[in-house]
Structure 1
Amino acid sequence: MSHNIIDQGSLEVVVPKGNESIRWLEHGYPSTLARWHYHPEIEIHLIRESMGTMMAGDGMVPFAPGQVSLLGSNVPHNWISEIGPNEKTSIPNRDVACQVLPNRIQALAQIFPEAMQILTLLRRGDQAIVLRGQSAGRVASILTAMGAHHDLDRLIDLLEIFRIFVQAPRGEWTTVVTPGYQPEASPGMAERVNQALAYIKAHIGDCITLEDVAAQVAMDPSSFSRFFKRAAGINFSEMVCRLRTARASLLLVTTDLPIAQVRVMSGFRNAANFNRRFKMETGTTPRAYRQAHYH
C-alpha cells in the first residue's frame, strides 16, 4: 500500500485487519505511534491519561485527560505529554483512536444524502476539531467501547461519533489549525521536527538555544529557524516558551513545590518573564492557576 503525497510529516501507513475499513487502536506514551506524523485516514482521538501539549498543523493547545479530537486527512499531529517528577516515566494507556479513509465516507454520502453533513464535518476536520463538555464525554465512551466491537457494531459506533461532532453545540468545540495552513514539504521534515522536539523536552529546564537544537539536526541556525517555522507553524522560541509553560502548569497542579522552584524547573530564569508568559498562555497567574486546579 503506497501513498504518493507530499512529505509533510512522517507517513503512517494504516492497514486495517481483514476486511475492516475502520481501524481501532490504543497505545501508550512514549510510543513509536506518538510522534509528529500524518496519514490519509481521518482520525478520532482520545487522551485517557496525562497532561501536555497537542500539536496539529500550525496550532498548539494544552490537553488533559478526556480530550477528544477529530483530525482531517493528512493533518500532521502529535501529543507531547508532560510527566511530573513523581510520576512514572511511561503512560501505558494514554491514547485511543479510530481511523477511516475519507473516500469511504464520500461513497456513503453518494448513496445516502443524509450523510452529507459528515462531509461538511470532515472539511472542518482539516482544521483539527477539539471537543469538550458533554459531547467529548459521549465520544470518549463510544470510542473506548469500540475496541470490543467489530463489523456492523463498529460502523454504528463511528456514525454515532460523527453525529455527536456534527450536532455538538458551538460552545463545545473549537478548531486548532489556521485555515489555509500548508505544511512544510521538504524531505526528512518529520525526522528533524521529532529530533528537535525530543531535545527541547529533554532539556526543558535548561538554557536552550537555537544553535543547540540546530546542531542536533545538522542544520545551521538560520536555516533551522526558517525550517521550524514552516514545519510547525510556530517559531522556535515560541515553541520553547509554550512547552515550558506546559511543564510549569503540570508541576503547579501535581506537586506542592514552591512556585519559584516550579519556575526554575520549567526553564524560566526570570520571575517577571515567567508570570507574563504564563498569564499570556493560560489567562491567569501561576498562583491563581494552582489555587484553581491543585487538589
Structure 2
Amino acid sequence: MTKLFTENIIHEITPLSEKDCFYVADRRKKEFTYPMHSHKEFELNFVEHAPGVKRTVGDSIEVIGDYDLVLITSPDLEHVWEQNTCNSLDIREITVQLVPCFINGLMSTNQFDSIRRMLEKAQNGLCFPMDAIMRVYTLLDKLPEMKGFYAVVHFLTLLYELSCFTDQARALSSTSFAKVEIHSDSRRVQRVQEYIGKHYQEEIRLGYLANMVGMTEVSFSRFFKLRTGKSLSDYIIDLRLGYATRLLVDSTMAIAEICYECGFNNLSNFNRIFKKKKNCSPKEFRDNYRKKRTII
C-alpha cells in the first residue's frame, strides 16, 4: 500500500476576503524564508534583484537571475522561492493573488481569449521571458499603489499584456506532476495523449500510435513534435518522470518500486534519465523536496 505525505503540504490561507478580487503585496527584503506551499488562488509573483535564489514550482527546480516573473493557476501546485546563494540586500518581491471565480467569469468571452489560454497554460506554472517582464514592468511597479476600480482595470491590462507572450513563456512543472489534464487543439494528438496517459506504465510503440491516427510512423513523428513541441520519446519520458517525481514527493515507495510503477523497465536507466533531466538523483530530489515542506 502506498502511504502519502499529504499532511506535510502547507495550504496557505491568503489575506483575500470574499469581497476582494485580488490582493497585492509589495515587499522589500533581504531573504526568502517562507516554506513551500500551495493555495487555491491564482498567483503572479515577480522577483527583482535576487540572482541566485532557487525557485521550485512543482517538479521544476531552477536558480533565477536578476528578474523572475511566474504565474501559477493550479490549486495543488506547490511552490517556493528559497535564498540559496543569493546575497542581495535589495530584493523586491511583488505578489498578486487573484480569486479564480472573478477571472473565470470573464474567460468565456472572446475579448479575454488570450488571457484564458495563458491561465490554462499556467496550471503548470508559467515563467515569462525578459521581453514580457520589460513590457509589464511599469504596470507591475504601479499596481501596489492602485486602489478600487482603477486597480482592477490596471491589473486586467497587465494580464492582457502578459498574455501576448503566452507562446514565448515556458511551462515549468511537468503536466503529470501538476495533475493537469491535457487538451490539444488536434483531435489526433489528443487521442494519442489520452492513450499514453492511460498506458504510460506499459511499453508504448510508435507504430501502434501511428496506426491509431491513420498515419505513417515518419509522418506521425513529425506531426506529433510539431503539435506538442516534443518528440514522442521525450514526451513519454517527461510524462513518466512527472508521475515518478510525484510519487517521490507524496509516497513512501522505494525508488526501485517507483521506477517500475512509472513505466521504466530498468533502474539504472531510470536513475540516468532522472539525473539528466532534473540535475539530481531520485533520492536527492526526494530528500530536498521534503526539507522544503516544513510545517508552519
**Counterparts of 1:139 and 1:179 in 2: how far apart (Å)?**
27
- Asked if residue 99 in structure 1 is aligned to residue 97 in structure 2, the reply is yes
CA contact (8 A) 1:43 1:97 kept: yes
Change (3 A) 1:169 1:107: closer
TM-score by length of 2: 0.54
Per-residue deviation at 1:144? Answer: 2.1
**Counterparts of 2:106 and 2:82 in 1: how far apart (Å)?**
35
**Counterparts of 1:147 and 1:182 in 2: how far apart (Å)?**
30
- What secondary structure is seen at the aligned counterpart in 2 of 1:45? strand
Select 2:151's aligned residue among 129, 149, 154: 154
CA contact (8 A) 1:53 1:61 kept: yes
- Asked if residue 78 in structure 1 is aligned to residue 74 in structure 2, the reply is no
Query: What code does the residue aligned with 2:177 have?
Result: Y
Equivalent positions of 1:171-182 (< 5 A) are 172-182=168-178
Change (3 A) 1:53 1:102: same
Change (3 A) 1:121 1:35: same
Equivalent positions of 1:66-145 (< 5 A) are 66-74=67-75, 75-83=77-85, 87=87, 91=89, 93-110=91-108, 112-145=109-142
Select 2:284's aligned residue among 225, 231, 237: 237
**Counterparts of 1:131 and 1:182 in 2: how far apart (Å)?**
18
Tell me the alpha carbon deviations over residues 216-261 of structure 1, each in whole angstroms, 9 at most, x when there is no partner: xxxxxx94976xx9xxx973425889xxxxxxxxxxxxxxxxxxxx
Matched with 1:45 is: 45
Change (3 A) 1:57 1:18: closer
Runs of 4+ in structure 1 deviating by more than 4 angstroms, as ranges, are: 222-226, 238-241
**Counterparts of 1:169 and 1:128 in 2: how far apart (Å)?**
12
- Asked if residue 167 in structure 1 is aligned to residue 164 in structure 2, the reply is yes
Tell me the alpha carbon deviations over residues 156-189 of structure 1, each in whole angstroms, 9 at most, x when there is no partner: 222122212221174x421111012247xxxxxx
**Counterparts of 1:40 and 1:8 in 2: how far apart (Å)?**
17
Gaps of 5+ in 2: 1-5, 180-250, 259-277, 289-296
TM-score by length of 1: 0.54
Per-residue deviation at 1:131? Answer: 0.8
CA contact (8 A) 1:53 1:63 kept: yes
**Counterparts of 1:72 and 1:166 in 2: how far apart (Å)?**
14
Per-residue deviation at 1:80? Answer: 1.4
Query: What code does the residue aligned with 2:121 have?
Result: R
CA contact (8 A) 1:41 1:102 kept: yes
Query: What code does the residue aligned with 1:167 have?
Result: C
**Counterparts of 1:31 and 1:70 in 2: how far apart (Å)?**
18
**Counterparts of 2:64 and 2:21 in 1: how far apart (Å)?**
29
CA contact (8 A) 2:24 2:96 kept: yes
CA contact (8 A) 2:117 2:166 kept: no
- What secondary structure is seen at the aligned counterpart in 2 of 1:99? strand
CA contact (8 A) 1:66 1:137 kept: no
**Counterparts of 2:50 and 2:126 in 1: how far apart (Å)?**
20
**Counterparts of 1:156 and 1:239 in 2: how far apart (Å)?**
43
CA contact (8 A) 2:114 2:164 kept: no
Alignment: residue pair count: 187
CA contact (8 A) 1:46 1:66 kept: yes
CA contact (8 A) 2:118 2:166 kept: no
**Counterparts of 1:8 and 1:155 in 2: how far apart (Å)?**
35
CA contact (8 A) 2:37 2:78 kept: yes
Per-residue deviation at 1:148? Answer: 0.4
CA contact (8 A) 1:46 1:96 kept: yes
Tell me the alpha carbon deviations over residues 245-292 of structure 1, each in whole angstroms, 9 at most, x when there is no partner: xxxxxxxxxxxxxxxxxxxxxxxxxxxxxxxxxxxxxxxxxxxxxxxx
Equivalent positions of 1:193-208 (< 5 A) are none
Gaps of 5+ in 1: 1-5, 184-221, 242-295
Tell me the alpha carbon deviations over residues 123-168 of structure 1, each in whole angstroms, 9 at most, x when there is no partner: 1111111111221122233122100001122212221222122211
CA contact (8 A) 1:66 1:140 kept: no
Q: State the Cα RMSD in Å.
A: 3.3
